[in-house]
Structure 1
Amino acid sequence: MGKIAGVEFAPQVVSATRFAPSPNGRLHIGHAFSALCAHDFARAFGGKFLLRIEDIDGTRSRPEHIAAIIDDMAWLGLHPDGAPLFQSQRIANYAAALERLKEKGLVYQCWCTRSEIAEALKQQPVRHGPDGPVYPGTCRGRSGGDGDFCWRLDMEKAVALTGPLSWIDLAAGPQIANPAIFGDVVLWRKDAPASYHLAATLDDATDAISHVVRGMDLFAYTAIHRLLQQLLDLPQPLYWHHPLLLDDSGEKLAKSRASKPLSELREAGESGAAIVAALRRGQLPLGITLSRP
């Protein structure tokens, strides 16, 4: 048995786990906890621990944040096996996958702006999914448009092609995947290459990730990733969605909420090894709590 972040796991055959931050801001203690979970899971079961930088958002990714991520990981003592991996070096792989989906007739171009979608939602009430109102399908079947466009997955066609899907979370147990609740998700963005869903799913296959260790905030998205795995003939990993660290208002720690960055702690002379040791013991900083499953 292996115990990571208070969770007992039966013996596993682990090829690799990964920690995959986006360099659009500084890492905080919540990132440290997530990296620790992925690192310790790999170490407990003889697998590799990889660091993947999700740097394809050209408008927000910054070289200084990449450098800070690498420095923070070294300071924490969470050393990856091998050099960091970069999504920006894999655009051709994402584009090839999109072409395969085009050939199957499973994606369509969407010219809608955010304001146009918001207006359409006012005129046509739609169901809500985990991300809010589901895209109303304005461009589905549309023959052309002006300006930039994204590529959306035709969810109805995709689900009909794959049939029922499931996946396993090592803490929550077997799950039925229901990607249809998200509607026609974007797979290729107007302002950047592949969406998170397409890029992360392809990367996990490329990097031979046998166990995806990530936060509970991404639990629902696994349904989309299982769908893409099936459509693109990719291997199916196992998952562990670990609890999140919450601030004193009960919200998850986040860059957008100005959670204190690790770099400030590092520059103040605090010990990264001591922080990691405390997290392993379940000792959280003052004002921070752990979310419940």
Structure 2
Amino acid sequence: SVNLAQILGDFVVWKKDDTPAYNLASLVDDEILGVNLLVRGEDLLACSAAQKYAAQILGYDFAGANFIHHGLLAHGGKKLSKSSRAPAVSVADGAKIHYKFAALKLGLNASKCDGLSNLLEMFKEKFSR
């Protein structure tokens, strides 16, 4: 459980430039697309809680979405993300190691993960219950 008032206070849903803030835009997109499972970094836990709260207020089905928050991917103590301007992940040397790493971060058996279809199957088995 996340105390939104304590962590975010009054969170922004509409910006001064007359455009929706990320949390609202993403929520509306996810509702329209029927998204019901999201895998995000643990740094977005408060954003996820804000979106679920807004979904409840709006009567969206998204209020029942499931979230999995994983530990952040880091290199040298620095978060690997677009917002930190980290370079894109390269699969030039083979993607298998990246699938194994994703499996490990999601609590799946990395030794049995050798490709995307295998990773997706393990993911479905664990989280579709």
TM-score between the two structures when normalised by the length of structure 1 = 0.31
Matched residue, 1:253: 80
**Aligned-residue RMSD, C-alpha:** 2.3
Shift of 1:256: 4.8
In the other structure, the counterpart of 1:282 is 101
Q: 1:226 to 1:255 in 2, by over 3 A?
A: closer
- Equivalents in 2 of 1:207, 1:220: separation in Å? 22
3-state SS of the aligned residue for 2:13?
strand
In structure 2, relative to structure 1, the CA distance for the partners of 1:202 and 1:252 (3 Å cut) is: same
CA shift digits 1:162-189 (9 cap, x unpaired): xxxxxxxxxxxxxx24221211211111
2 CA distance for matches of 1:255 and 1:205?
24
Identical residues among aligned pairs (%): 31
Which of 2, 11, 24 is equivalent to 1:198? 24
Find out whether 1:217 has 2:43 as its counterpart: yes
For 1:1-293, what aligned pairs fall within 5 Å after superposition? 176-181=1-6, 182-191=8-17, 193-235=19-61, 236-248=64-76, 250-262=77-89, 265=90, 270-271=92-93, 274-275=94-95, 277-282=96-101
Check conservation: 1:244, 1:252, Cα contact below 8 A.
Answer: yes
Unaligned 5+ runs, structure 1? 1-175, 284-289
**CA-to-aligned-CA distance 1:46-72 (integer Å, 9 cap, x gap):** xxxxxxxxxxxxxxxxxxxxxxxxxxx
Report SS of the residue matched to 2:52.
helix
From the two aligned structures, give the one with the greater helix fraction.
2
Q: Which amino acid aligns with 2:72?
A: L
Q: TM-score, normalised by structure 2?
A: 0.65
Gapped regions of structure 2 (runs ≥ 5): 106-129
Partner Cα separation in structure 1 for residue 52 and residue 82 of structure 2: 28
